[in-house]
C-alpha cells in the first residue's frame, strides 16, 4: 500500500454533494424522530392522565420556549423525513436515478423541506 497518498482529515474542507447531504439528513432526522417520540409520548400520557395534566401540558406548550422549540424540532424532522422519503419512493420507481436528475431532486428536496420547516415554525410560534 502506498503510504504517501494524500489524506484530508479536516472535515470542514470536505465538500459533500447535495445527494449525500440529503441522504445523511434523512438518517439524522430519523434518529431525531425516534428520540423525539419519547418527549411526545410523555406529554401525550400526561395530557390523558387527568384534566390537570391536560391543562399543564396546554399551558406549557403555550408559554415555554423550550417546549415549543422541542415540538418545532420534532415537527421539522418529520417534515424533512417525509419529503426525503417521498423522494426515495420516486427513486424506487426508477425516477431521479441519473446523476443530473438526482442532484436536482436533492436540491428540490432541501428547498421544499426548508419551506415546510419555516411554515412549521410560523405555525408553532
Tell whether the model's pLDDT for residue 7 goes beyond 90.
no
Could you tell me which residues are annotated as the binding site for heme?
81
> In the prediction, which pLDDT does 15 show?
83
Name the CA radius of gyration of the chain, rounded.
Answer: 20
Tell me: the pLDDT tens digits for 23-64? 999 999 999 999 999 999 999 999 999 999 999 999 999 999
CA 76 to chain centre: 5
Q: What pLDDT digit, counting tens, does each position of 64-109 carry?
A: 999 999 999 999 999 999 999 999 999 999 999 999 999 999 999 9
Distance, in Å, from the CA atom of 121 to the CA atom of 87, rounded to the nearest integer, reads: 23
What are the sequence ranges of the domains in the chain? Answer: 18-124
Contacts of 73 (CB under 8 A, 6+ apart): 32, 36
First to last CA, the chain: 57
| Residues tagged in the binding site annotation | 81
Place of cell 472535515: 11
* Rounded Cα gap, residues 76 and 71, in angstroms: 8
pTM for the predicted model, two decimal places:
0.84
Q: Quick one: pLDDT at residue 2?
A: 66
Domain 18-124 CATH assignment equals 3.50.50.60: no
Amino acid at each position: 500500500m502506498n503510504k504517501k497518498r494524500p489524506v484530508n482529515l479536516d472535515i470542514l474542507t470536505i465538500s459533500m454533494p447535495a445527494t449525500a447531504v440529503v441522504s445523511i439528513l434523512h438518517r439524522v432526522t430519523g434518529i431525531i424522530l425516534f428520540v423525539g417520540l419519547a418527549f411526545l409520548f410523555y406529554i401525550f400520557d400526561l395530557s390523558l392522565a387527568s384534566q390537570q395534566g391536560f391543562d399543564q401540558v396546554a399551558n406549557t406548550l403555550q408559554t415555554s420556549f423550550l417546549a415549543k422549540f422541542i415540538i418545532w424540532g420534532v415537527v421539522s424532522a418529520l417534515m424533512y423525513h417525509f419529503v426525503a422519503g417521498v423522494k426515495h419512493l420516486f427513486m424506487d420507481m426508477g425516477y431521479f436515478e441519473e446523476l443530473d436528475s438526482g442532484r436536482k431532486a436533492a436540491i428540490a428536496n432541501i428547498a421544499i423541506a426548508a419551506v415546510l420547516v419555516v411554515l412549521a415554525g410560523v405555525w408553532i410560534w
